[in-house]
Structure 1
Amino acid sequence: MTPSAASTSATAVRNPVHLAPVPYKLVGVNAALKAASDPSFEVKPEIFSEFSLKGKTAAVTGGDGGLGLEFCIVLAELGAAVYAIDLPTSVSSDFEAAVAYCKKLGTSLKYKSADVTDPEQVNAVFEEIASENEGKVDVLIAAAGILGSENDVEKYPPELFRKVMDVNCSGVFYSAQAASSIMKRAGVAGSIILIASMSGSVVNREMKWAAYNISKSAVIQMARSMACELGQFGIRVNSLSPGHIRTKMTAAVLDVEPETEAFWASLNPLGRIGAVHELRGVAAWLASDASSFCTGSDILVSGGHTVW
C-alpha cells in the first residue's frame, strides 16, 4: 500500500482505533539485559507475578457448581476477591466446601443470587459487588448456561429454544454488559471471559443439540463484537470453548452410559474426554495480565476434537 493510499484508508474509518503505546515490562529479555548492566538488580522468576490477581475483584456467573465453581477457586488461588453469581437462593454443599477452602488460602469467595436473564437483577448485583470493592470489577467469567434437551430440529419446543437462548446468550450479554460498564466507569483494564463451547464452532456428531449449538456460536461472536468496542478502553473480551468435559452433570449420564463416553473420547486425538481442572490454566491466563495482548479470540480446549 502506498503512503497516500494508507492515509486515505485511515481517514475513511469513522471510528479509528486509538493508538496506545507498546507497554514495557521488566521481565524476560528486558530483565536479563537489566541484570547484565546492573549487578544490584534482583533476579527472580516473574511469570508467576504476571498471573497474580491480588487486589482484584472477580465475578463468575454460574458459580455455584460445575465449571463455574472451578473457575471461582482458581481465581481465588490467584489472589482475587471472588463473587459467584447463580440462580439458587441457597448454595450447594460443593460451594460451601469451596468457601472454606478459599478461606484457608487467605482469599475470599462470596455468593450472590441473581437471575442472569433479568438485566435489572444483573445490573443490581454487579453494582453491589462494585460497591463492596472500591467501585470496581476487574474480571468476569460468564459461565452460566444450560444444555436444554436433545430434540429433532423440526420438533424443537419453542419455549425450550427461547429458554436456552435466554440463559446462554442473553444472560451472558447482560453479565458482560454490566461488568464492562463498571470497568469503563472505574477506568479498569479488565478481562471478560465468555464461556462458549466447541459446539459453537462444530456440530457434535450424532447429537441433536441445535439450540445449544446456536447459542454458543452466538457467544463466540459476542466476544468478538464486544472486544472491538471495548478495546479502546483497555478492556479485553475473549471466549473460552471447552470440549467434552466430565462434570457432575455429564457424569450423571456417562456413568450409566459408558458407551457415550467411549464415543465422545473417540472423536479427539487424545482419546479421552476432559476433566474440569484442565480448564484452570487457560482461565487463569485469560483473566490475568499474562494474556494482556489477547482479545477477540476464541480459545478451544477440546483435546483436539475440532482438528479432525
Structure 2
Amino acid sequence: MDPQEFNKTSIKQQWETASSLNHGVTWMAKLFLSQRLKSLCDEINQLFPSPSTSSPVELDPNSTRAVAVELDVTADASTIETSVQRAWNAFGHIDALVNNAGVRGSISSSLDLTENEWNSTVRTNLTGAWLVSKYVGRHMREAGRGGCIVNVSSISGLNRAQMRGSVAYSSSKAGMDSMTRIMALELGEYKVRVNSISPGLFRSQITEELVKKRWINNVAERTVPLRAFGTTDPALTSLVRFLIHDSSSYVSGNHFIVDAGYTLPGVPIFSSL
C-alpha cells in the first residue's frame, strides 16, 4: 500500500476509543488531526451532545463523526462498564481501543512510598487499563468482528531502564506489558489483537524545559544511538496508526519500544537520577 494512501485511510474507516489523561491527550489529538478528520470531527460534533440511546445507532459509513464519552479510569468497574457501553452504542461497535491514560505518581523510595500513593498509580496505569480492555474486549468478542487494543506503556517497565523512586510506576508499566501478552493470548481466538508501546523521552510540552538543558542533549549525543530526542508526532502516532490498521492484522502480543535506542546501553545516567 502506498504510504500516503495508508495515511488517508488508516483511521477514517474505523471507529475507535481512547482513554487519555494529561500528556496523552496531546499526542492522541495530533493523531486524529494528522488524519484530517474534519477539524477534529467538527469539534467533537459541535461540543458533543453525549450519546443517550440505550442501543447502537445506525451510521453512514462514509460520515465522519466523533463522540466524547466521559470515562474515569480510576472509577469502579460498573462505572467503567457503563462508559464503555455508551461508547459502543454511539457507533454500534468499536474497532480499536488505545489505553493511553497514565500518571507518573509519587517519586519515593520503596520504603517511604505510602499505600495510597501506590494504589493511586497502579489504579490508573494498570487496573484502569485492564477494566477498559475487559469491557471493550467483551463487546468485541460478542460482536464477532475482531478488533485491536493498544496499550501505551513506558520504557520504565523494561528491566534495562529502571530508576530510583519509581517502584509504583515501573511496576504498573511492567504489569501492563505482561497484561498485553496474556490478553493477546486469550483474545486471539476472537480476532482481537493486543499490543503495547513503550515510549522513551520525547520533545513535548511536558519535557520542553528538560530538553533545553545542555546536559540532556549531551546524553543524547553520547549515549542515544540515533543521537536525538524526537517528537511524538510522527514517531508515536505513526506506530499507533499502523497497529490499528488492517496492515497489522498479523501482529499481536508484541511490545514496541520507541526510544531512539537509548535504553540499549542501560541508560546509566537516567538510572542514577
User: What range describes the TM-score normalised by the shorter chain of this pair?
Assistant: 0.7 to 0.9
The change in CA–CA distance for 1:299 and 1:80 in structure 2 (over 3 A counts) is: farther
* Unpaired segments ≥5 residues, structure 1: 1-26, 28-44, 82-96
Mean CA deviation greater in 260-269 or 170-179: 260-269
Structure 1 position 270 matched with structure 2 position 226:
yes
Alignment partners' CA distance in 1, 2:197 and 2:88: 25
Alignment partners' CA distance in 1, 2:169 and 2:36: 33
- Structure 1 residues 165-244: aligned runs within 5 Å: 165-202=122-159, 204=161, 207-244=164-201
Structure 1 position 247 matched with structure 2 position 204:
yes
Alignment partners' CA distance in 2, 1:260 and 1:149: 24
* 1:109-157 Cα deviation digits (max 9, x unpaired): 43222211222222111111111112x1100000000001221221112
In structure 1, the partner of 2:118 is 161
Q: 1:148 aligns with which of 105, 117, 130?
A: 105
In structure 2, the partner of 1:126 is 84
Assess if the C-alpha contact under 8 Å between 2:10 and 2:242 holds in 1.
Answer: no
Structure 1 position 307 matched with structure 2 position 254:
no
Alignment partners' CA distance in 1, 2:217 and 2:144: 48
Assess if the C-alpha contact under 8 Å between 2:203 and 2:229 holds in 1.
Answer: yes
Assess if the C-alpha contact under 8 Å between 2:44 and 2:67 holds in 1.
Answer: no
The change in CA–CA distance for 1:70 and 1:241 in structure 2 (over 3 A counts) is: same
Alignment partners' CA distance in 2, 1:209 and 1:282: 26
Alignment partners' CA distance in 1, 2:27 and 2:190: 29
What is the count of residue pairs matched by the alignment? Answer: 244
Q: 2:251 aligns with which of 294, 297, 302?
A: 294
In structure 2, the partner of 1:52 is 10
* 1:176-202 Cα deviation digits (max 9, x unpaired): 111111111211210100111111113
* 1:273-307 Cα deviation digits (max 9, x unpaired): 23121211101000111111110000010110222
Letter of the 1:273 counterpart: F
The change in CA–CA distance for 1:259 and 1:159 in structure 2 (over 3 A counts) is: farther
Structure 1 position 61 matched with structure 2 position 19:
yes
The change in CA–CA distance for 1:262 and 1:189 in structure 2 (over 3 A counts) is: same
Alignment partners' CA distance in 2, 1:289 and 1:79: 19
- Structure 1 residues 62-77: aligned runs within 5 Å: 62=20, 65-75=22-32, 77=34
Q: Which gives a bigger RCO, structure 1 or 2 (Cα 8 Å, sep 6+)?
A: 2
What is the Cα deviation at residue 108 of structure 1? 3.9
Alignment partners' CA distance in 1, 2:72 and 2:15: 20
Assess if the C-alpha contact under 8 Å between 2:145 and 2:191 holds in 1.
Answer: yes
Identity over aligned pairs, percent: 23
Structure 1 position 139 matched with structure 2 position 64:
no
Alignment partners' CA distance in 2, 1:164 and 1:181: 25
Alignment partners' CA distance in 1, 2:43 and 2:136: 26
Point out the structure with max Rg over C-alpha: 1
What TM-score, normalized by structure 1, do the two folds share?
0.70
What TM-score, normalized by structure 2, do the two folds share?
0.78
What do you get for the CA RMSD once the two structures are aligned? 2.9
Structure 1 position 261 matched with structure 2 position 219:
no
